Structure formats: structure tokens, C-alpha cells
Amino acid sequence: MEISTILWREFKFFQKRVFKITSQSVVTPLLYLLAFGWGLGSDIVIDGNNYMHYIIPGIIAMSTMHTSYNAVSIRISVARLHEKSFEDYMTAPVNLSFLTLGYILAGALRGLYAGMIILLISYLFKAYIHVNLAFIAIAMLNSLLFAAFGYYAAMVINSHYDMNRFTSFIITPMTFICGTFFSLDKMPLIIKKLIYILPLTHTINSLRGIALRNTFDYTSIFVLICYIVVFYILGVHASHREI
């Protein structure tokens, strides 16, 4: 019951703000496409592929990460710290596991929506990449992961500035070092191994493998699922601590 209620409420919220949400989700990725793809990438070949086709999967992964994370973290942090309305959930007879899952699913759907918009924009500019159900499933896993992380982050912060630290020290670095815009092959081995610990690296490699070679590594899927489970458990635990 809690899951369907939250999904319905978030859907009505999305309906009322669809233009604002859509524009906010695509402006930054679109700028990256324009600057790096069409601006720099017309004559660049990387790993045997046109640079535009190379970065589209990375930008989709980045977009699903940012959108799902922000969709949950901002909503929860505002409700907790400013409106004080989240306390109503904590004191109501609701299952906090389902409550957490509802918010994570709602944020993940927002993330997937943003990723598919970027894909549509690339198609409109005739930059075609291979997409199948596995591609969409991996984008959804990435959205679930960062929605779960956003929920956990929002539940443990004590101020809006703490949320900025999560963004500055975790989300933003992953945007640039996980291979969104370049190949990791020339990275020093120790740095490369550290980068492969990060979940966005696995998402980008999987999406890029499907888009360019129609293959992906099942190990990356396992890693993403493990991250989702860990952040979901942490989010539920943080919710219980809030009571």
C-alpha cells in the first residue's frame, strides 16, 4: 500500500511539473552532447568508434545517476529539514521498508525517464546507438542504485550543506572519472582498479558494451545489484533511526 501511494503521489507531482522536470533533466546532458559530441567529436575516433556514439551511453548513465539521486535526495531532505512533514511518516503506522522502496522506485523512474529523453535527443540528431531490453534494464538498475543512495544521503544529513558535500565529493567526481567522456585504458593500473570499484563505471561499461558491441559483462550487473541492496538496507536502517 505504501509503495503504490508514494508512486501515485510522485506521479501527480511529476504531472504538474513535467516541463520543468524535463528541462532540468536534459539541459546539462544536452550541453555535454553539444560541446563534446558535436563540438569536439566530429573527427575523433576512440576505441574504434565515433566519439559521439562513444559518449552517448556515458551521458545516459550520468543523466540517470544525477536525476534519480536528486529526485529522491531533494524531496526527502526538504521534507525532513524544512517542511518537517517527513515526521508524519515516521509516526504513522507504515512499513518503513515499503516506504523506502516506494521513494526509491519513484526516483528510479524519474532517472530512467531522463535517460530515455537523452537517447531520443541523440536519435533526433541522427546519432544512433544499439538499444535493447538489457540496455534499458541496466539504465534502470543505475537509477535504482542512485535513488537508493539519494534516500540514504537525505536521511543521514543534518543540513542542506551536508547534502552539497555528498554531491561534491561523490556524485560530481563519478561524473568525470568513471569513463563518461574518455577511455580508462590509459589510466595507471592502481587508479583504474579504484575507479572500477565505483558503480557508475560498471553502468557506463555495460551500456557502452551494448550500444557499440551488443555485449556486456554480467559481473557488472552483479555489482550494481549489490550496491542497490546495500544502499536500500542502509536507507531502511536510517529510517528506523529517525523514529
SS (H, E, C) 170-199: HHHHHHHHCCCCCCCCCCCHHHHHHHCCCH
Give the mean pLDDT of 152-165: 87
**129-154: b or e for each residue (b if 16 or more CB lie within 10 Å)?**
bebeebbbebbbbbbbbbbbbbbbbb
3-class DSSP state of 126: coil
pTM across the whole model = 0.93
Which residue in this structure is represented by grid cell 567522456? Answer: 181
Coil, helix or strand for 115? Answer: helix
* Amino acid letter, 152: Y
Return d(Cα 46, Cα 226) in angstroms, integer: 31
Return the pLDDT at 161: 78
Phi-psi region of 47 (alpha: psi -120 to 50; beta: other; left: phi over 0): left
How far is it, in rounded angstroms, from Cα 60 to Cα 55?
9
Residue 88 pLDDT level (bands cut at 50, 70, 90): low
Distance separating alpha carbons of residues 233 and 229, to the nearest angstrom:
6
Hey, how many other C-beta atoms are within 10 angstroms of the C-beta on 211? 23
- Confidence grade of residue 52 (pLDDT, cut at 50, 70, 90): confident
pLDDT in tens, 1-39: 678 888 898 889 888 888 888 888 888 888 888 777 666
